Amino acid sequence: MPEWLVLTLAMVAACAVVVVITLVRDRAASEDEDPSETPDVIEYMTMWIGVVYAIVLGLAIAGVWEARSAALEHVRTEAAALHEISERVRVYPADVRNRIRDDVNAYVGHVVSTEWDTMADHSRVTERGTALLARVRADVTDYEPKSDFQAQAYQPLLDQVTAADQARTARAESMGATMPGVVWFGLITGGVVTIGMVFALQIRRSARELILAGLFSALIAFLLFLIWDFDAPYSRGIAASADPFLRLFPQVKG
């Protein structure tokens, strides 16, 4: 099911639940009940519950957004390091240079065409990708420079290989959900309590009150969906993509 459809259904369901409960509650209310007589303490508690829940939602959104940004930065770092390797080997002999570039292209091609799907579906990197990167490392480290000019390029190349390997490791470690289950329990429970406090204010079925209650519940449903969508940086709708690899290696097709 498309994620936009999941979001739409969640928001519509949240609105429908609030409206239905409001209508049922209004129909079952006694005739002498006065909705204007809401105790001040309930209004005070409702206000502070909403404030606290808004802070918690904000922190959760900031946390998953930071995790997504870090995941995207790992991809950029890895792609940039591999691109530097391809460019800096120009000082090497043609056969060595071409072999290293071919192996780099093979690794990038595997990442964008195969490994990315594995990351999205199974939250792991592939053994084939690890082997291809190891081959790039072997190509760089096993070559013995034949001149001072090549020797000057050797250590920076090793540094770029290390940077690519570290970025790949960080990418592998940042897959999967970032929010613990207990946090999700708190977010969902807090949402239910916050929406439930609306009924403590004894709202009636006037169009204005129903619209506001529906929009409020839909907003909470949208924010929870946003947190869920950002929670897995590589596998859901608003996910970190392989675009940095494709931009730096246009000859590789994803």
Q: What is the pLDDT of residues 116-174, one digit of tens each?
A: 888 888 888 999 999 999 999 999 999 888 888 888 989 999 999 999 999 999 998 88
Alpha carbon distance 81, 158 (integer Å): 10
Q: What is the mean pLDDT of the chain?
A: 83
Token code pair at residue 3: 């994620």
Alpha carbon distance 50, 56 (integer Å): 10
pLDDT of the residue at 104: 95
Alpha carbon distance 133, 131 (integer Å): 5
202: confidence class by pLDDT, cuts 50, 70, 90? low
230: confidence class by pLDDT, cuts 50, 70, 90? confident
Angle at which helix 181-200 crosses helix 40-88, to 10 degrees, equals 150
Token code pair at residue 227: 């947190």
What phi, psi does 156 have (nearest 5°)? Answer: -60, -35
Percentage of the chain beyond pLDDT 90 is 31
83: confidence class by pLDDT, cuts 50, 70, 90? very high
Give the predicted TM-score (pTM) of the model: 0.75
Token code pair at residue 79: 């792609």
Our separate counts of H helices and E strands in the chain read 9, 0
Amino acid type, 52: V
pLDDT of the residue at 78: 95
